[in-house]
Structure 1
Amino acid sequence: MRRLTRTLITTALVTAAVAGTAGWASGTEQRAVTGAPVGTERWRAAGLPDPESMSPAGVARFFAGLSPVRQRALALAHPTVVGNLDGAPLELRYAANARSVRGEFGGARVLAHDTRGRGQVALVYGDLARAEHVAVIVPGSDVDAAHTRPLTAMAEALRSATGGRTAVVAWAGYTTPVGVGLDAATGRLAEAGAERLTRFTDGLAAVGAAEPSVFCHSYGSVVCGLAARDLKAKDLVVLGSPGMRAENASALGTSARVWAAKDPTDWIDRVPNVRLADLGHGTDPADPAFGARRVPADDARGHGGYFAAGTSSLRAFAAIAVGDVR
């Protein structure tokens, strides 16, 4: 009876919190985009290897066995496949995606562009191939190919704060929740996102990019928590997190350093850190008991203010990205 009572209370708390934070009705159920890129059937029909059966390392080996002329021919004939193949040469992906986006994302190079669903995109600021330091930013709700500004602002702020020493990827590479509804309170979209994020970092490793520091905002931290065990990253930094679906940092199963930031005015603090079946995301990573390294954020404001100019959180993020903290 006591366990049933706790369960009912937990369910009521999570439901009330999600409903009260921004409106349960504001959430619209999303279908996760997964699988091979658009154009894969034509690619297969041309006798080319199935993208779904190749790892990013396998993709890298395939392209390494082709002449530059053949590589360019494939990018020209199959831009939506080549532009989204993790493990393909970076310059080839940029060229393939440039054909479809036509300058839509000014100031960044487009490493991925998937038009399915609401659209997904990975935008690169800096020289990803040669940079000594790489950062990847994983966003939360309401970010897609048509709504990247909150994410790109974070990427631009982090790159500037490191003095241009870090190549930053704004990774809108999964189907995010819309609003604060049931999708945001469950792990379904995060599970699909975790697979895509893991493959993305595998792709960075396959082309010789530096091991990244991964910054995960809001629901993006749920994605990162589920991906953590297999994620190729040197740092895992969560900010404004509703939970990572792990009891503590050790349970993430990662060798990356785990960091957490939460400012005192962030509404995420009103969401109970509980989990019942697939509802809720568990322990607050900013709780000292979780075991993450603390990122100072007392002067940040609101849920989206962690990358604001002059904040202690942005300074700390920059130091983490360039390896200036131990």
Structure 2
Amino acid sequence: MRRFARTLVTAALAAALVAGTAGWASADAQTAVTGPPPGTAAWRADTVSGRPLPDPARAAPAEVARFFAGLDASRARALVRAHPLVVGNLDGAPLPLRYEANRLAVTANGEPRFAPLAAPGRQILAFDPRGRGTVAEVFGDLERTAHIAVIVPGSDNDATTYDRARAAHTGPAYTRPAQTGPSHTGPSGMARSLRSATGETAAVIAWTGYTTPVGVGLDTARGRLARAGAVRLARFTDGLDAVGAPDPVLFCHSYGSVVCGLAARHTDATDIVAFGSPGMRADSVGGLGTGARVWAARGPSDWISDVPNVQFAGLGHGADPTSAAFGARRIDAADVAGHAGYFTPGTRSLKAFAAIATGTAR
């Protein structure tokens, strides 16, 4: 009888999650971008001195790294020019080649919505124009840094909204694009703010490398997009390892924390930070299956606290990472405003994030 009662309570909470969240019915279901990048068929048909090229769908990043280590500079650059979309997204390929390949890929794509990504000085580590577009950008010197942070954002982020600010103080509508320009709330703004807070001693990657939910709808309550994103995030971190980069710290915001929770056991992250999180698809830190230190933060006015921490019939993402029972290390976020204000300069959360990113947090 008690088990039946608990089931009814859980069902009621799940129903509240669906019915009580503003903007639910207006959200659009998304098709996850998966598999190798456009141009893979031509890449597979090509060779170098009669040798086949590593298959983007099957070759491990370490295998890709060994392949490029055996090429001279002229052959490597020829592959960049012939197959920019493949090289630019090929985890394990040398970083300078990926930056150049993605500049060419964005320029060749010709769509105005992606044009800002080709601006001089930008270090685009991944770019895929399919769907709404995915992108990853590096801030700092990834080849020489001792510390790497990877920011994994949540809903409504893609290659076109990536540089835009978000309203830091409002409810679920926070995810809709606001004005363009410098900000600490969009993925690139979060990365810039964190890098500045570390005294520019850490390289920071804004990784909008998966198909995120749009609005606050069924996609945000389900794990479908997060599971696809987790596969891509795990391969991305394997790619960093393959080129000799330090083990990263993952900073996971909102739905991005669901992605990180599912990817945790498959990455070599030293630390995983969940903030503004609806849950990580685990009951506790132990359930994540990772040796990383796990941290959690939630601001006092973050609307995510109104989302029930349940999993029922495929809806919801489980336990609150800031709860004592979950077992994560708590981050002071008492001065954070809203759902997107965690990287606001001067906040305790940003100071803590910087310490974690540089390995000085205890």
TM-score by length of 2: 0.87
The equivalent of 1:305 in structure 2 is: 341
Q: Structure 1: how far apart are the matches of 2:148 and 2:8?
A: 44
- How is 1:54-133 mapped onto 2 (pairs within 5 angstroms)? 54-102=59-107, 104-105=116-117, 106=119, 108-133=122-147
Aligned partner of 1:152 in structure 2 is 188
Q: Report the residue type matching 1:27 in the other structure.
A: A
Structure 1 residue 63 displacement after superposition: 0.8
Match of 1:222 among 258, 265, 281: 258
Does the CA contact (< 8 Å) of 2:258 and 2:317 recur in 1?
A: yes
Q: State the AA in 2 paired with 1:136.
A: V
Contiguous gaps of at least 5 residues in structure 1: none
Contact 2:17 2:308 survives alignment (8 Å) = yes
* Off by >6 Å, runs of 4+ in structure 1: none
**Equivalent position of 1:190 in the other structure:** 226
What RMSD, in angstroms, separates the aligned Cα atoms of the two structures? Answer: 1.3
- Equivalent-residue separation in structure 1 for 2:291 and 2:43 (angstroms): 37
> How far did residue 278 of structure 1 move?
1.6
Partner in structure 2 of residue 13 of structure 1: 13
The amino acid that maps onto 1:116 is R
CA contact (8 A) 2:92 2:242 kept: yes
Q: Cα offset for 1:151?
A: 0.8
Equivalents in 2 of 1:191, 1:166: separation in Å?
28
Q: Distance in 1 between matches of 2:20 and 2:344?
A: 26
Residues in 1 aligned to 2:153 and 2:142: alpha-carbon distance in whole angstroms: 19
Q: Residues of 1 paired with 2:296 and 2:281: CA distance?
A: 14
- Measured in 2, the distance between the counterparts of 1:273 and 1:308 equals 26
- Count of equivalent residues: 326
Question: In the alignment, what sits opposite 1:263?
Answer: 299
* Counterpart residue number, 2:289: 253
Percent identity, aligned pairs only, is: 65
Superposed CA offset, 1:116-156 (max 9, x none)? 11100001111111111110000000000001131111111
The separation in 2 between residues aligned to 1:234 and 1:34, in whole angstroms, is 26
Contact 1:241–1:268 under 8 Å retained in 2:
yes
Q: Does the 8 Å CA contact 2:54/2:64 hold for their aligned counterparts?
A: no
C-alpha contact (below 8 Å) 1:22/1:179 kept by paired residues: no
Is 1:179 the counterpart of 2:219? The answer is no
SS at match of 1:290: coil
Q: CA deviation at 1:4?
A: 3.9
Offset of residue 101 of structure 1: 2.4
AA aligned to 1:85 is L
Deviation track 1:46-81 (CA, whole Å, cap 9, x = no partner) reads 143321120111111111111111110000100000
Q: Deviations over 1:172-215 (max 9, x none)?
A: 00000001111100100000000000000000000011111100
Superposed CA deviations along residues 286-326 of structure 1, whole A, max 9, x for unmatched, are 00111100110000011101111110000000010011112
CA contact (8 A) 1:21 1:267 kept: no
Unaligned 5+ residue runs, structure 2? 48-52, 108-114, 165-185
Q: Given that residues 18 and 271 in structure 1 are in contact (C-alpha distance below 8 angstroms), is that contact kept between their aligned partners in structure 2? A: no
**1:216–1:224 Cα contact (<8 Å) kept:** yes
Partner secondary structure for residue 53 of structure 1: coil
User: What is the rounded CA distance, in whole Å, between the counterparts of 2:315 and 2:7 in structure 1?
Assistant: 11
1:18–1:312 CA distance, 2 compared to 1 (3 A): farther
The structural deviation recorded for 1:2 is: 4.4
Distance 1:153 1:209 in 2: 23
Aligned mates of 2:340, 2:140 — CA distance in 1: 23
Q: What is the rounded CA distance, in whole Å, between the counterparts of 2:350 and 2:40 in structure 1?
A: 40
Indicate if the aligned counterparts of 1:120 and 1:145 stay in contact, CA closer than 8 A.
yes
Q: Is the 8 A contact 1:26 1:178 kept in 2?
A: no
| Secondary structure of 1:307 counterpart | coil
| 1:43 to 2:43 alignment | yes
C-alpha distance in structure 1 between counterparts of 2:314 and 2:235, whole Å: 24
**Paired residue secondary structure (1:99):** helix
Aligned residue identity for 1:252: L
Give the TM-score normalised by structure 1.
Answer: 0.97
